[in-house]
Amino acid sequence: MNVTNKMTKITIDTYNKIKEKYGNISSWALWTEHTDNKSKSGMGDITFFENPSHITLDLLNPNIVLVGLNISEKITRVFGNFHPDKSSAQDYKTRFAVQGTMFWGAYMTDIIKSYEEKISCNLMKYLSNNKDFEKENVKMFEQELLDIGSQNTIIVAFGNDSYNILKRNLKDKYKIYKVPHYSAFIQLDSFRLAFTDLEHKIKYL
């Protein structure tokens, strides 16, 4: 199954609707490309999201969704999630890992909305004591998939926490895979290998 041949076309109208509704909690797996892929420079550049060209729109693929756990702090820039302008952030690993793969241009979001927390175990403890809150967020996530026009959705979770939430709630509805979290202690080449191995697995199922 070659998923790349079944991309849902994102029109400028759809793009703007997604931008308006989800722009401050989501993004797309596109970054400024550099010849030095190990560099963090340019990670915060999201100017190409402001008035996207036809080339940018053609790269967007809502059928593949990369899912984190939650935001650590409020995101003020539209489509700024996963595109931090802080030199200490680890998101640059994702750019290196997905560039040139089927995941370049994927939709990116978090499974838990409206809960700012930098320490994941604190959030997971809260969820264990507030199961209705988790269910509400899962429903919002599914609505998000509908709103972006995702079809035959392939979900890729960053790390165990987001993966476990997705699996226990949605395992019967979607294809859900896992890669390490970009903040984990992992070499760049190993992180990229997780994505290229997954790409091979998906394409040749």
What 8-state DSSP symbol labels residue 155?
E
Confidence (pLDDT) at 8: 82
Q: pLDDT (tens digit, 9 = 90+) per residue, 31-46?
A: 987 656 557 878 888 9
Residue 73 identity: E
β-partners of residue 40 are none
Q: Count the domains in the chain.
A: 1
Look at residue 193 and tell me if it is in a domain.
Answer: no
Per DSSP, the residues of 25-69 read: T-EES-----SSTT--TTTT--GGGTS--HHHHHH-EEEEEEEES
Residue 99 domain-assigned (yes or no) = yes
Helices (H), the chain: 12-22, 54-59, 92-98, 120-129, 131-147, 159-170, 188-203
Task: Judge whether 141 lies within some domain.
Answer: yes
The confidence score (pLDDT) of residue 131 equals 95
Q: What is the model's pLDDT at position 2? A: 42
Does residue 20 belong to any structural domain of this protein? yes
**pLDDT score, position 3:** 44
Interatomic CA distance for residues 25 and 6, integer angstroms: 26
Quote the pLDDT of residue 38. 57
Q: What are phi and psi of 67, to 5 degrees?
A: -125, 120
Question: What's the DSSP call for residue 9?
Answer: P
Instruction: Identify which of 184, 177, 172, 182 has the alpha carbon closest to the alpha carbon of residue 202.
Output: 177
| 107 close to 60: Cβ distance less than 8 angstroms | yes
Counting every residue, how long is the chain? 205
CA distance 48 to 188: 25
CB atoms within 10 A of CB 163: 21
Give residue-wise pLDDT tens across range 122-164.
999 999 999 999 999 999 999 999 999 999 999 999 999 999 9
200 Cβ neighbours under 8 A, 6+ residues apart = none
Domain assignment of residue 125, yes or no? no
Residue 155 lies in a domain: yes
Mean pLDDT, consecutive 10-residue segments, the chain of 205 residues?
Answer: 61 96 96 71 88 93 97 88 80 92 97 88 94 96 97 97 97 96 89 96 85
Task: State how far the Cα of 137 lies from the Cα of 10, in Å rounded to an integer.
Answer: 25
Position 84 in a domain: yes
Domain span holding position 19: 8-111+131-159
